[in-house]
Structure 1
Amino acid sequence: MDLYKIDKQNMEKIIGSNFDLERGLQNLIENNLELTLGLEFVASEFTVGKYRLDTVAYDRDLNSFVIIEYKKSSKYSVIDQGFAYLNTLLNHKVDFTLRFNESFPEQKKVEDFEWGQVKIIYIAGSFTSYQMDAINNPALPIELFEARKYKNGYMTLNQIMKTSIPARFSHTHNQHKREVADKGINIDNASELTAPTEEQLLETSSENIRDLYQSMKDSLLEWDSSFEIKPTKLYIGFRLNHRNVVDFLPQKNALKVWMNLSKGELNDPEKLTRDVSHTGHWGNGDYELKIKNDEQLEYILSLLKQSWQQHRIEH
């Protein structure tokens, strides 16, 4: 991404540069994890197995661990190292769980985490075309971010978006298991690294519910094309600026929806939503809605739009 300074009708290109030391970039990111990546800090220079991981973070929305690595040079393989670290994580779940419990007041067991959602993030000044092509598969749990610094204390952090079109589920699932197995991950770990997909979560739903979900999805993406769709084992999350805005749970003959707003923030004059602020539920937010048809779709979309507008204003 190019950065320009505007002076009336003229523009001056601001030249960026890489960070001199990996540690300097690491300190910046670790001190601002929630702002930059929407994550919570767990550990720095965490040694486990044969490796020392730069940063271990926690994604609260996905209930999963994230490994972050910082690179100054482009002479490394994001695939080989990435899968080696992910394999180490999955083979040392107890170590990660204990470190989490040391960092947070809440106490969790190994089985409380979503291990299928773990991923690794690489942050560097730039990446080669080979590295970008290597991770250009939506099924791979590896993400790339380019970090550049500018004069006057500015910096940019931009994710390299994956542009390949996901294959049908059966192909993607089997191909992904083969890919990770080729990198030395046993079949159990390969299965865990195969994250849930929209198709999986929708496969038991009726055609009517599938169409209803698609209509709502189309509307959300029309409002904001930067929505990131994150399926979990329990629901399909629509994220913006690292935070879930709306969550969907497809059922056979209904669609459950959660809006990530606190109690009192939603204007629902027809009282279609249910207050779940003191009730256990899977999605994010204090408002739950169950839909069986599109009879009130326009009104329901107006409720979802309130959640989107709130998160857009906050960021």
Structure 2
Amino acid sequence: MTDVAPRLADAEADVQSIVEGNMEKLFGVRFLASEYSTGPVHGGRIDSLGLDENGAPVVVEYKRGVDSGVINQGLFYLGWLMDHRAEFQHLVRDRLGATTAAPVLWSAPRLICVAGDFTRYDVHAVREHRRSIDLVRYRFFGQDLLGLETVASVSGRTSAAGRVRRRAAVLPPVRGHGGALAELAEAVDEVLLSLGDGVSRVQRKQYRAYQRLRNFACVCPPQKTKLLVYLKADPREVDLIPGFTRDVTGLGHHGTGDLEVQLRSERDVERAVSLFRVSYAAG
């Protein structure tokens, strides 16, 4: 067996090309445009534009090696994007259709920086910003294998640890059944946020998403007697239990994920923790 030494790209464009061709698989982001011009006044080009699986706009910037300017450059373009919402929605409409363009999640824009490496100052800097920022280190292995590692991930809102301590607001309860199910949703929220570093939470009208680079869990508002959680775990690798887990591959539902978990009690939450961890690892 021959060891394959990790290496940097020969050029920044090599990284950009592979990521753009596999953006949804790598980041859960639908690719919209490459080298997008910000116009003659602003005078810049955004490396990649996309829309994540929760409908949030995404700017992706690349650097071949270590470059202390990548974060500021990305934030500069993210600021431009927030000032040109109509232009972005027009782009989404052209690429993905009017139905997708309507509910763009402007409250949670994201910046993903992909580079050969980052300094400790970069990691500290992203924690001081109010934006959602992911720092991702890449390496090539051989000619066509790309490895990615998350160096830092900040949600741009309150930190996960702070949310756990406060036992923050949960999904809206169903009238008449709110007490127990609201407590159940709160317990699930606490477990999902505590699975590891870099977990962020994105609230949509139909569900609440928990993500690293990609969604790994989506929690829907409580039904009359149960709470539904959708996970990125592969249903084919899970022993499905009627009334607890279900394969929803190809079936329409809110949120993302092909494994449905039905929670009715704290005991169900305890049973589901191992599935949460599998989905977190896959995300």
- Tell me, yes or no, if structure 1 residue 55 matches structure 2 residue 48: yes
Do the aligned residues in 1 keep the contact of 2:49 with 2:57 (CA within 8 Å)? yes
Q: Partner letter of residue 53 of structure 1? A: I
- Tell me, yes or no, if structure 1 residue 257 matches structure 2 residue 217: no
Map residues 128-167 of structure 1 onto 2, 5 A cutoff. 128-137=119-128, 139-151=130-142, 153-162=144-153, 166=159
Cα distance in 1 between the residues matched to 2:110 and 2:154: 18
Do the aligned residues in 2 keep the contact of 1:124 with 1:146 (CA within 8 Å)? yes
Q: Where does the alignment leave 5 or more consecutive residues of structure 2 unmatched?
A: none
Residues 53 and 62 (structure 1), Cα distance of their counterparts in 2 relative to 1, 3 Å cut: same
Q: Kindly provide the CA deviation profile for residues 175-218 of structure 1, in whole angstroms up to 9, marking residues without a partner as x.
A: xxxxxxxxxxxxxxxxxxxxxx9835569998865643343346
Q: Partner letter of residue 298 of structure 1? A: R
Q: TM-score, normalised by structure 1?
A: 0.64
- Return the match for 2:201 from 214, 230, 235: 230
Shift of 1:288: 7.8
Q: Partner letter of residue 238 of structure 1? A: Y
Map of 1:186 onto structure 2? none
Q: Partner letter of residue 48 of structure 1? A: T
- Return the match for 2:168 from 177, 196, 199: 199
- Tell me, yes or no, if structure 1 residue 114 matches structure 2 residue 105: yes
Cα distance in 1 between the residues matched to 2:167 and 2:80: 28
Q: Secondary structure at the match of 1:269?
A: coil
Map of 1:297 onto structure 2? 266
Q: Kindly provide the CA deviation profile for residues 136-195 of structure 1, in whole angstroms up to 9, marking residues without a partner as x.
A: 2584322111111233643321111248993857xxxxxxxxxxxxxxxxxxxxxxxxxx
- Tell me, yes or no, if structure 1 residue 84 matches structure 2 residue 76: yes
Residues 86 and 255 (structure 1), Cα distance of their counterparts in 2 relative to 1, 3 Å cut: farther
Residues 138 and 230 (structure 1), Cα distance of their counterparts in 2 relative to 1, 3 Å cut: farther
Map of 1:17 onto structure 2? 7
Map of 2:214 onto structure 1? 242
Do the aligned residues in 2 keep the contact of 1:82 with 1:142 (CA within 8 Å)? no
Identity %: 21
| C-alpha RMSD of matched pairs (Å) | 4.5
Q: Kindly provide the CA deviation profile for residues 17-67 of structure 1, in whole angstroms up to 9, marking residues without a partner as x.
A: 3212111111111111122222211111111242211111121x2112211
- Tell me, yes or no, if structure 1 residue 93 matches structure 2 residue 90: no
Q: Where does the alignment leave 5 or more consecutive residues of structure 1 unmatched?
A: 170-196
Map of 1:74 onto structure 2? 66
Map of 2:188 onto structure 1? 216
Residues 96 and 157 (structure 1), Cα distance of their counterparts in 2 relative to 1, 3 Å cut: same
Residues 298 and 143 (structure 1), Cα distance of their counterparts in 2 relative to 1, 3 Å cut: same
Structure number with larger C-alpha Rg? 1
Shift of 1:228: 3.5
Residues 259 and 79 (structure 1), Cα distance of their counterparts in 2 relative to 1, 3 Å cut: closer
Q: Secondary structure at the match of 2:152?
A: coil
Residues 89 and 254 (structure 1), Cα distance of their counterparts in 2 relative to 1, 3 Å cut: farther
Q: Kindly provide the CA deviation profile for residues 255-290 of structure 1, in whole angstroms up to 9, marking residues without a partner as x.
A: 7433258xx9895534899x9x988x6434689888
Q: Secondary structure at the match of 2:6?
A: coil
Shift of 1:312: 8.0
Cα distance in 1 between the residues matched to 2:282 and 2:13: 30
Q: Partner letter of residue 199 of structure 1? A: A
Q: Partner letter of residue 57 of structure 1? A: G
Cα distance in 1 between the residues matched to 2:162 and 2:267: 31
Cα distance in 2 between the residues matched to 1:119 and 1:148: 22
Do the aligned residues in 2 keep the contact of 1:22 with 1:72 (CA within 8 Å)? yes
Residues 236 and 159 (structure 1), Cα distance of their counterparts in 2 relative to 1, 3 Å cut: same
Q: TM-score, normalised by structure 2?
A: 0.70
